[in-house]
Amino acid sequence: MQEFKATHPIELIEALMTHVGYATRTRARNALKRGEVLVNGQVASKGSDVLEPGAQVSILSKEEMAKRSRTGGAQAKKERTSASPALLRAPFPVVYEDDNVFVYEKPVGWVCASPNPNVKSTYTAVKAYLEAKSEERIDVHFVNKLPREASGLLVVAKSMEWRQHLQTHWNSFAKGMYVMVQGHLPADDELFLRPENGDPYALPYRTMRATNMHTLLKFKAGYEVIKDMLPALRRDDCLLIGVGKTAPDPIKRGGIHLFALALKGPNEEVINVKTRVPNEFLKLVRGGSAPKPGPRRDMDERPAKKGGRPSRPRPDRGASMHPSSDTRKKKR
């Protein structure tokens, strides 16, 4: 008998191909049809079932199959028709679900989708869970994505109509994101972003907590601003942790968490969802405090590109760029 334990949520058929060595999905499915695969001691028959971490998978040998057929045929049939609790629990924390959408919290270390069956993806895990729960094939359409190093809210539409609507209006929906940086910024101020194909703009943030090394920030924005945020942070002598090859990585993950979404459906259905601050973020700023905000900077007070020094305020257009004659006389 071959045995292994699932270390992360994964489709049963993918686990069989990875850990047992079935060369094709067809061979893995045939093993399931023959009743050779047990999950937590019960016969499993659906390759799309999602294994929970810690689920025990056993592959019966020919001798063990023959013994079961002689001594426990009725029991084996009963086990085959019963559902294992390990296969029906959601693979990720479910934040919201109705007939149209499924919103869950993606953990760090997962990609949204991958053509490689050996790579754990939220798409296969969520699809398998929803189909196992409904006992029929359903449509699963991802609305937004997050990279492997980030965590936060992911939205799945259960129809193409909802997917198209949500993606079309995505930029108009309110969002909230926690960002963990190494370094310090003025409390409750603004970052000045300079998009490659757009005008510079100010992005307000709230300083949640800061220690002598790290700062936890809260933005009313989504992951789409991260690309423009990185150079803005560097201009302020700050680094987004865990993002990039040279970035500091004190908690072995990226400092990005999409914690809030305010969605509207095709018929003005309102869906507001939130999650908490990741525990890794809270531990990193434990013992810190929320600094008191000062006067906000304007665009002329932001750091220069080199050296991190504030640029000089621009003179009034009506003022002279040269010292007056009276000033010259005094200097002499």
CATH code of the domain containing 161: 3.30.70.580
Q: What is the overall mean pLDDT for the chain?
A: 82
User: Does residue 87 sit in helix, strand or coil?
Assistant: helix
Same domain, 182 and 195: yes
Quick check: 103 pLDDT over 60? Answer: yes
Same domain, 177 and 297: yes
Tell me if 163 is assigned to some domain.
yes
Domain that holds residue 163: 94-168
Whether 215 and 189 share a structural domain: yes
Q: Is residue 316 part of a domain?
A: no
Q: What is the DSSP string of 195-233?
A: -TTS--EEEEEEEEEE-SSEEEEEESS-GGGHHHHHHHH
| Structure confidence at residue 120 (pLDDT) | 77
Q: What is the CATH number of the domain that holds 37?
A: 3.10.290.10
180 with 278, same domain: the answer is yes
State which of 5-19, 123-137, 139-153, 301-315 shows the largest mean pLDDT.
139-153
Task: Give yes or no: residues 186 and 148 share one domain.
Answer: no
Note the pLDDT tens digit of each residue in 106-150.
Answer: 999 999 988 877 777 898 889 888 887 776 667 789 999 999 999
**What is the reported pLDDT for 69?**
63
Strand runs (DSSP E) across the chain, as ranges? 2-5, 10-11, 37-39, 42-43, 50-51, 56-59, 94-97, 101-106, 141-142, 151-157, 174-182, 190-193, 201-210, 214-219, 239-240, 256-264, 270-274
Q: Does this model's pTM top 0.75?
A: no
* Domain assignment present for 309: no
Same domain as 196, residue 163: no
pLDDT at 306: 43
- Which residues 6+ apart lie within 8 Å of 11 measured at CB? 47, 48, 49, 50, 51, 124, 125, 128
Domain contains 246: yes
Of the residues 134, 168, 202, which one is the last residue of a structural domain?
168
Give the C-alpha separation, 79 to 92, whole Å. 26
d(C-alpha 128, C-alpha 40), whole Å: 18
Domain count, the chain: 3
pLDDT score of 82 more than 60: no
**Does 332 map to a domain?**
no
Predicted confidence (pLDDT) at residue 265 exceeds the cutoff of 90? yes
Same domain flag for 6 and 44? yes
Q: Comparing 72 with 190, which gets the higher pLDDT?
A: 190
Reported confidence tier of residue 288, pLDDT bands at 50, 70, 90:
confident
Do 270 and 239 reside in the same domain of the chain? yes
For 189-214, the pLDDT digits (tens) are 999 999 988 899 999 999 999 999 99
Q: Would you state the pLDDT for residue 102?
A: 94
CB 130, CB 109: distance < 8 Å: no
CB atoms within 10 A of CB 143: 19
Mean of pLDDT values over 55-68: 82
Same structural domain, 123 and 44: no
Residues 281 and 212 in one domain: yes
Candidates 214, 224, 232, 225; CA nearest to 282 is 214
Domain co-membership, 185 together with 291: yes
Give residue for tokens 């434990």: 286
In a domain, 318, yes or no: no
In a domain, 69, yes or no: yes
CB-neighbour burial class of residue 203 (10 A; exposed 0-12, middle 13-18, buried 19+): middle
- Supply φ then ψ for residue 285, to 5 degrees: -105, 20
Asked if residue 142 is part of any domain, the answer here is: yes
Domain boundary pick from 137, 168, 199: 168
82 lies in the same domain as 99 = no
Task: Answer with the one of 168, 201, 228 that is the final residue of a domain.
Answer: 168
